[in-house]
Amino acid sequence: MTKRRVVITGIGAITPYGVGASKLWNGVVNGQSAISKIENMGDMTGHSVLIAGEIKESTFNPVDYFEPKEARRLDKYLQYAIVAAKEAVEDSGIKNSDIDPFRFGVIVGSAAGGFNTIQKSYYDMMTKGPTKCSPFTIPMLITDMGAGKISIELGAKGVNKAVVSACATSAHCIGDAFRSIQYGDADAVVTGGSEAVICTIGLGSFTAAKTLSKRNDEPTKASRPYDKDRDGFVMSEGAGILVLEELEHAKKRGAKIYAEVIGYGQTGDAYDVVAPCPDGSSAAKAMEIALKDAGISSDDVDYINTHGTSTHLGDIAESMAISKVFGDKTVNKKLHVSSTKSATGHLLGASGAAESIICINAINNSIVPPSINLENQDEEVANLNYVANKAEKATVNIALTNSFGFGGHNAVLIFKKYE
């Protein structure tokens, strides 16, 4: 069977930089940190972590996008997913008249789903009684509802699901959307991820796990992948959504094409629920599978947007994996590598989609965004060209992005300049 070619025709995002994929790109390429003191949670008494990549209430007002009653029935993660999806679909120019609804799909996931809803509903039930929560609690909190709500909004009746694999969620969603189109199950798929866990249950539980940075006095310097002085990742929130489309279908309707999806690899560490496999072997294998799927060699890749969360074990393992797969190319500076989580923070289940959008922009703008806050490189990470602190002009024909999740989930996507 001949695999069909798959291209990206629309992108949308909401991040701490604001509403819009262009704001995400402008923030990271200019080395602007999106990390700040948390405002939306109110009283922070008892919390030792006071910073995050937060979408401020002054930046995003749900009633600007939804009727007030509808907004109350949507968890934040659903609001973000729908807003980003609408931007991506509008950007793509695709209309219902362009496509059979049963060949128009939605694959959008979330690592955590409606954490804000879980927290509020639990409080209401404990203080008022076991049934005194909103009747919309379940559809507000379950992780598949982003895909469900988007499909309803769009009238998309094709493949409809949510992949959930922690911080690899949206990369797996994009990969599965790619496969659905490749093998003829769909002609277009709206795909990506959304996350909103900056609340007591989210912040408190990640703090208890000792995974978060406590650099509260310097928020913009808190996320520092590969730096010797890093002390954990910084939680962030938002959504990234892409419209993937079969090439001939896109060409027939005269769509603009951002880039082509050419490779997808996935593996499992089978090692630990939180820590990555120390030698990076499973992550390396996922990259090798993606390269084989794309029909290219490691020499063809110009840029890697890493998972790069700013944790000691994760940064080391991933750098070792990249060094294993890409060999000498890493030490002679031909391969550009950067972690844009240094600027955005970690969007958890939405990170793979946001970073896919960044890769697509790197391809189209011939510029590699930097790893900011890299002031004193850790000797334990592999000797890679981490594009420290300032963007670099470079020809980027092929970009690869890594996403790894708790539970040992590894997903790798490869994008190519469309010609």
Cα atoms in the Cβ-side hemisphere of radius 13 Å centred on 389: 7
Q: 172, 249, 346, 409: which one is catalytic?
A: 346
The packing angle between helices 351-365 and 169-182, to 10°, is 70
Nearest to 303 by CA among 371, 248, 231, 375: 371
State the Cα–Cα distance between residues 298 and 282, nearest whole angstrom: 17
DSSP secondary structure of 350-417: GHHHHHHHHHHHHHHHTEE--BTT-SSB-TTS------BSS-EE---SEEEEEEEETTTEEEEEEEE-
Q: Is 307 a catalytic residue?
A: yes
State the Cα–Cα distance between residues 401 and 104, nearest whole angstrom: 25
Nearest to 226 by CA among 389, 18, 25: 389
Cβ-based neighbours of 99, under 8 Å, separated by 6 or more? 187, 188, 249
Nearest to 140 by CA among 55, 187, 77: 77
State the Cα–Cα distance between residues 14 and 252, nearest whole angstrom: 30
- Rama region for 231: left / alpha / beta (φ>0; ψ in -120 to 50; rest): alpha
Give the number of other CB atoms < 10 A from CB of residue 189. 30
Q: Is 47 a catalytic residue?
A: no
What is the Cα gyration radius of the chain? Answer: 20
Could you tell me if 337 and 304 are in contact, meaning their C-beta atoms sit under 8 angstroms apart?
Answer: yes
Q: Is 167 a catalytic residue?
A: yes
| Burial category of 36 from C-beta neighbours within 10 Å (exposed 0-12, middle 13-18, buried 19 and up) | middle
Kindly state the DSSP code that residue 91 receives in the 8-state scheme: H
State the Cα–Cα distance between residues 414 and 419, nearest whole angstrom: 16
Which positions are annotated as active-site residues?
167, 307, 346
